[in-house]
Amino acid sequence: MIVVSGIQPTGNLHLGNYLGAIRNWVKMQDEIDADGRCLFFLADLHAISQPHDPAELRTGTLEMAAALVACGLDPSRCVLFNQAQVPAHAELQWLLMGTARMGWLNRMTQWKDKAGKNREGQSAALFSYPVLQAADVLLYQTTHVPVGEDQKQHLELARDIAQKFNNDFASEDEPVFTLPDPFIPPAAARIMSLRDGSKKMSKSDPSEMSRIALADDADTMAQKVKKAKTDPEPLPSEVEGLSDRPEALNLVTIYAALANTTPEDVLAQHGGAGFGQFKPALAEVLVETLGPIRNRFVDLKDDREQLDAILARGAAQARELGTPTLDAAYQALGLVRG
């Protein structure tokens, strides 16, 4: 089993990233056997596909590395790095650009959402972003990609690119790329905004109140939960009763994920309670789970020397691990390299 996943180092790590992805990364790192390997990276090359401030990207990258270690990633048990130190990601992207079809990229919902009506004004990087994501995964013969629901379409595209490349340029018994499987957690795959139960919790939402950030202190977390949008009804005792109450469903989902239980169990315990009662209980599990992570993050985030060393070491490992596949892709395409 080869596990690979990435996160953009723009903005703070939030509860959606943690419950939808990072918590599974840590679990997979802890459970992987001796033949397997986990690689996790900061998608800094993806971050330049939209307008950005270079100084913020620099600090954001180091802070996100600190956040991942604080969440439980252990650089001695997984390969932790940033794309910019592993040129093979960008190289393989270019090699795959000949295989990816414009029509496939045009159908990506993230492209459509981010570009909106102004497609002509977007960077070419934003459009070809999923090809870089395919390269990230295909470079390492990845079998499993732990992500939240919103990345599923990008991973299906990575499979399509791998399949077409193998068909066009490799023999059936010696494919260049392994087809990766997305690994999406059954619960918490899509944590919604605290202000609007129909929008996912996201770094790009202008309202800080829409998300719980890992860097929030206990009072801020409690305030955000208290102000979270809800409806006036008490919680039902069955999950079916949440079907047309997206904000209530979101809070119950978050509670269940944090307490490692199911929404059914949460409702068995809290059914009939109003939000005045439920919200403080939710804030308590939130602070209990994220509090220790936040403390580790605060201790590590300004230790530039240690963070640089972690990323440099991870990048050296990643460069070595990616070389055979990159070489095979150049070779398959007929590119002469001496």
Pull the structure tokens for residue 305: 């020397």
Binding residues for ligand TYM, total number by CB under 6 A? 24
Contact of 65 with 310, CB cutoff 8 Å? yes
27 is catalytic: no
5 is in an annotated binding site: no
What are the angstrom distances between the C-alpha of 59 and each of 13, 33, 53, 74?
13, 34, 10, 21
Residues 6 or more apart whose Cβ sits within 8 Å of residue 147 = 5, 20, 21, 155, 182, 183, 184
> Residue for token digits 């199911």?
262
| C-alpha closest to that of 154 among 172, 130, 176 | 130
Long-range contacts of 258-267 (CB under 8 A, 24+ apart): 258/19, 258/285, 258/286, 258/288, 258/289, 259/285, 262/187, 263/187, 263/239, 264/238, 264/239, 267/235, 267/236, 267/237, 267/238, 267/239, 267/241
150 is in an annotated binding site: yes
Nearer to ligand TYM, 46 or 224 (CB): 46
Q: Which of residues 44-73 bind ligand TYM (CB under 6 A)?
A: 46
Pull the structure tokens for residue 275: 């939000």
Over the window 92 to 131, marking each residue x when it contacts ligand TYM by CB under 6 A and - when it does not, the resulting string is ----------------------------------------
Nearer to ligand TYM, 105 or 273 (CB): 105
Helix (H) or strand (E) holding 313: helix 304-333
Q: Which residue type, as a one-letter code, is found at position 180?
A: P
Please report whether residue 252 would count as binding ligand TYM according to CB under 6 A: no
Over the window 133 to 172, marking each residue x when it contacts ligand TYM by CB under 6 A and - when it does not, the resulting string is x--xx-------x-xx-xx---------------------
Which residue from 2, 7, 65, 176 is in contact with ligand TYM, where contact means CB under 6 A?
Answer: 7
**In the complex, least distance from residue 136 CB atom to ligand TYM, rounded to whole angstroms:** 4
Catalytic residue among 152, 164, 203, 229: 203
**In the complex, least distance from residue 153 CB atom to ligand TYM, rounded to whole angstroms:** 11
Taken in order 190, 191, 197, 198, the sign of the CA dihedral is negative
Which residue from 2, 3, 12, 20 is in contact with ligand TYM, where contact means CB under 6 A?
Answer: 20
Catalog residues that contact ligand TYM under the rule CB under 6 A: 5-8, 16-17, 20-21, 43, 46, 133, 136-137, 145, 147-148, 150-151, 189-191, 200-202
Q: Could you give the residue numbers annotated as active site?
A: 114, 200, 203
Q: Residues at the annotated binding site for ATP?
A: 8-10, 16-17, 148-150, 191, 200-204
Q: Residues at the annotated binding site for L-tryptophan?
A: 136
